Amino acid sequence: MNLWHISEDAFHPDLKTIHSQESVFTIGNGYFCTRGTFEEGYPRDNTATLLYGVFDAIPIAKEELANIPDWLPIKLFINGERFRLDRGTILSYHRWLSMQDGVLHRTVRWKSPRGVRILVHSERFASLADEHVGIIRYNVTLEDAGSDQECELDVRASLNIAEGNYDVIHWENVDQGHQNDIIWYHCETKKSLVHLAQTMSFRSASPDVHQKIVDSDVSPSISFAGTLAVGATFSAEKVVVMYTSRDTSDPVNAALEHHQNLSGYHAGSAQTTNHARFQEENLPKAASAQSLLYERMLQQQRAAWQPVWEKADIIIEGDDTAQRAVRFNLYQLRINVSSHDDRYSTAAKGMTGFGYRGHIFHDTEIFMLPFYTYTMPNIARNLLLYRYHLLPAARKKAASNGYEGAQYPWESTLNGEETTPSSIIHPETGEVIPVLNGFIELHITASIAHAVWQYWQVTGDDDFMRDYGAEILLSTAQFWGSRAEKNEQHDDYEINNVIGPDEWHEHVNNNTYTNYMARQNIRYALYIQDWLRQTNPAKAQQLEQQMDLTNEITSHWQDVVQHMRILQDPQTKVFEQFDGFFKLELLDQSQYKGRKDSYQGILGVEQVQKYRIIKQADVLMLLTVLDQEFDLQTKEANWDYYYPITDHDYGSSLTPALHVILACELGRIEQAYEFFTKGALVDLENLRGNTPEGIHLACSGAVWQATILGFAGLRLNNDGYTTDPHWPDGWTRLAFTFFHKGEQFHVDLRK
């Protein structure tokens, strides 16, 4: 078993498995991701290529990442019979994702309905060295043609605009043409008017085939037709280059130029081309040179992935399943984030599917960001810059709610406006389902502040804190300062009418997670205000003036910090999740044994609120996120209280892996490993049934945290770091690296 491979040894033709594996076998490079559909297509597959930050408007949910014209199609006909996995007989099948270099391979031995036997091998990757490029190598070997010595071969590569986000098509053709043997395709989104150019070449050094180019506004193509002898292999390379108007003002020429430079062609500019016509000239025969392109780009690809793994890899010995699963999650964390673009962030499902439409949640800051902060701090910095750029929109949201400072939206896309729909209609029952999160799930604002703080603690990036971070901390503190309500009777501050991380309980008061994180947010701001005054008084003054941060405000903040209401039983040390939670009725879970749905699904949105049953870690998440604030006794008491009343199987996918950290601290290794598995395999085994809509990227981030902060027990301090390993059964080694204040550390723990 290769520990760098995710493998599939048989083709399972049920659509649920097919769609789930499409998500698993996604390739990507942060500029784009492409789901693992087949080049030949499959009936009702969900093919998708999504680009980082390329959205189109939609009703209700405002905007979504717009699935671009499909660049994968390669259709193969042998003696006129179409090769596709729903036809003929699959004699053998093997597909594997090589995570080390991000290359997806597939080998199929297939017998056509009329008995011709072929071997098809394809490979593809999204170039990490050259992020605008996707490349496919496609080989066909004729193994048996019955009494014939050769077969007629027809291989057609194309781009295809007739693909949407499920059924919704986002692109409109603008123009199309070709230059020599490079096809170019120019389209724009229907509503947001983003322009996209794709160029495509399809080349072969094989003899006895004839190349043909077909221009089309809908599906331009390049084909090879000819004969293939028994035992011979036809080999071709499909190269696609993509640029959008978010990259350059002239994406068509940028893509063409880029493509020509790749392949060594120089055919002049797009303007001089004969647009969109058939062309049959004998094209320059550069194929033999071209056949080297794939190998050359593969070398670059390996070279580009090497430093990624040098920084991100985690070596686990003694548990191959865990080793591969962890790598899979790290792979996903890398392919779904841009290495340089700070105008967008990593979405709930990254770019691996249509789920959550590419919107950004607190998933990024709470679950994924620690991975980036510790291993790829430059990317973490970009993700925080995304939030910095959207401060004006967050200020607007706070103001429109009657508050000061900056309130971040629960769901965020490009312009930072709230993109959570306020209601949805159940597509079958017609029932209107109000969605309150955009109005009252507030804690994301503190999550972002906490992520800024943590980034600064881990990296020591003072420039970032001075130029960007401080303004986020102060603006968000300002929001909380105005949002906290003084209770004169109790002489304390409350935050009422919110949703905490446990989203099954709505309109709650004094959610411990929210209040505590809000207080922490203000603490960070007070600290950083001092720090700024000392280290950079000019910047401090500028911000204070700009934000009108008077002394009254600062002392109000101090008052809020001192008197924020935090509900905790002084005897038991158990935090109360919110006002009145302790008094809710305990749900008798034993009567739901064998259930296949969440408790909310079973009880309904209204009923579930009456019970002491929660969707996901809430108090326990607080104890994990602000780990160093709480002693072990407190953690133990709260674990014992909340662990049994959490829906670990059908609640949120976010927190199982996060529980590992606490479980390790409490020495509950078996439980920790169980949680780790639920997180690490959530997509590889489609544990929640919704991997078809994309992989669970927050869970991937939680798996990194579980492994490093949980099993390895890594903690940073001013002098450096400590580890406190907890060894699941069988694990004998746990090795990884991380950055702390610019220095890289290598940790190699052995049992």
Catalytic positions: 503
3-state helix, strand, coil in the chain (%, to 5): 35, 25, 40
| Closest CB 225 distance from its own copies, rounded Å | 6
DSSP type of residue 285:
-
Of residues 182 and 337, the one with the C-beta less far from its own copies: 182
CA distance 638 to 577: 10
Region at 465 (left for phi over 0; alpha for psi -120 to 50; beta for the rest): alpha
Among 430, 570, 594, 742, binds its own copies (CB under 8 A): 430
CA distance 263 to 256: 10
CA distance 191 to 193: 5
In 627-696, which residue ranges form alpha helices assigned H by DSSP? 632-642, 656-665, 669-680
Q: Is 283 in the site for its own copies (CB under 8 A)?
A: no
Owner of token pair 């500019």: 269
Q: Is 286 in the site for its own copies (CB under 8 A)?
A: no
Among 14, 281, 282, 432, binds its own copies (CB under 8 A): 432
Cα–Cα–Cα angle for 171, 172, 177, rounded to 5 degrees: 110
- Counting runs of H as helices and runs of E as strands, what totals does the chain give? 20, 28
| Closest CB 235 distance from its own copies, rounded Å | 20
Q: Is 423 in the site for its own copies (CB under 8 A)?
A: yes
Q: Is 81 in the site for its own copies (CB under 8 A)?
A: yes
Burial 377-409 (b: 16+ CB within 10 A, else e): bebbbbbbbbbbbbbebbbbbbeeeebbbbbbb
- Tell me the longest C-alpha to C-alpha distance in the chain: 96
Tokens of 352: 């691996």
| Closest CB 550 distance from its own copies, rounded Å | 36
| Closest CB 269 distance from its own copies, rounded Å | 15
Of residues 173 and 737, the one with the C-beta less far from its own copies: 173
Q: Select from 30-38, 74-82, 255-263, 702-710 the region that touches its own copies (CB under 8 A).
A: 74-82
| Closest CB 177 distance from its own copies, rounded Å | 9
x-marked contacts with its own copies along 40-69 as a string, rule CB under 8 A: -x-xx--------------xx---------
| Closest CB 442 distance from its own copies, rounded Å | 19
Among 277, 533, 741, 750, binds its own copies (CB under 8 A): 277
| Closest CB 210 distance from its own copies, rounded Å | 10
Q: Is 427 in the site for its own copies (CB under 8 A)?
A: yes
CA distance 574 to 637: 6
Among 89, 274, 550, 558, binds its own copies (CB under 8 A): 274
- Asked if 375 and 739 count as a contact pair (C-beta separation under 8 A), the reply is yes
CA distance 708 to 710: 6
Tokens of 606: 């209204």
Of residues 12 and 277, the one with the C-beta less far from its own copies: 277
Q: Which residues, numbered 146-165, are part of the site for its own copies (CB under 8 A)?
A: 154, 156, 158, 160-162, 164
Of residues 14 and 167, the one with the C-beta less far from its own copies: 167
Q: Is 593 in the site for its own copies (CB under 8 A)?
A: no
Q: Which residues, numbered 23-42, are part of the site for its own copies (CB under 8 A)?
A: 41
Cβ neighbourhood burial of 267 (10 Å; 0-12, 13-18, 19+): middle
Give the closest residue to 329 by CA, choosing from 368, 360, 361, 303.
368
- Cα distances (angstroms) measured from residue 748 to each of 711, 742, 745: 13, 19, 10
- Cα distances (angstroms) measured from residue 245 to each of 187, 255, 720: 11, 11, 45
Of residues 2 and 274, the one with the C-beta less far from its own copies: 274
Specify which residues 735 forms β-bridges with: 315, 748
Phi, psi of 272, deg, nearest 5? -90, 5
Tokens of 289: 């040179």
| Closest CB 179 distance from its own copies, rounded Å | 12
| Closest CB 82 distance from its own copies, rounded Å | 6
Cα–Cα–Cα angle for 253, 257, 262, rounded to 5 degrees: 150
Q: Which residues, numbered 159-198, are part of the site for its own copies (CB under 8 A)?
A: 160-162, 164, 167-170, 172, 174-175, 190
Among 10, 114, 278, 550, binds its own copies (CB under 8 A): 278
Of residues 226 and 377, the one with the C-beta less far from its own copies: 226
Q: Is 439 in the site for its own copies (CB under 8 A)?
A: no
Q: Is 228 in the site for its own copies (CB under 8 A)?
A: no
Q: Is 16 in the site for its own copies (CB under 8 A)?
A: no
Specify which residues 90 forms β-bridges with: 110
Among 214, 283, 566, 584, binds its own copies (CB under 8 A): 214
Of residues 8 and 81, the one with the C-beta less far from its own copies: 81
Q: Select from 131-139, 216-224, 348-356, 515-523 the region that touches its own copies (CB under 8 A).
A: 216-224
Of residues 271 and 590, the one with the C-beta less far from its own copies: 271
Of residues 216 and 401, the one with the C-beta less far from its own copies: 216
Helix (H) or strand (E) holding 211, with range, is strand 209-214
The residue count of the chain comes to 751
**Measured between alpha carbons, how far apart are the two ends of the chain, in Å?**
23
Give the closest residue to 618 by CA, choosing from 639, 589, 587.
639
CA distance 49 to 504: 34
Q: Is 10 in the site for its own copies (CB under 8 A)?
A: no
Of residues 57 and 626, the one with the C-beta less far from its own copies: 57
Among 2, 306, 422, 541, binds its own copies (CB under 8 A): 422
Q: Is 276 in the site for its own copies (CB under 8 A)?
A: yes
Q: Is 396 in the site for its own copies (CB under 8 A)?
A: no
Please work out the total of residues on this chain that contact its own copies, with binding judged by CB under 8 A: 51
Interface with its own copies by CB under 8 A: which residues? 41, 43-44, 59-60, 75, 77, 80-82, 154, 156, 158, 160-162, 164, 167-170, 172, 174-175, 190, 212, 214, 216-219, 221, 223, 225, 273-278, 421-425, 427-428, 430-432, 434
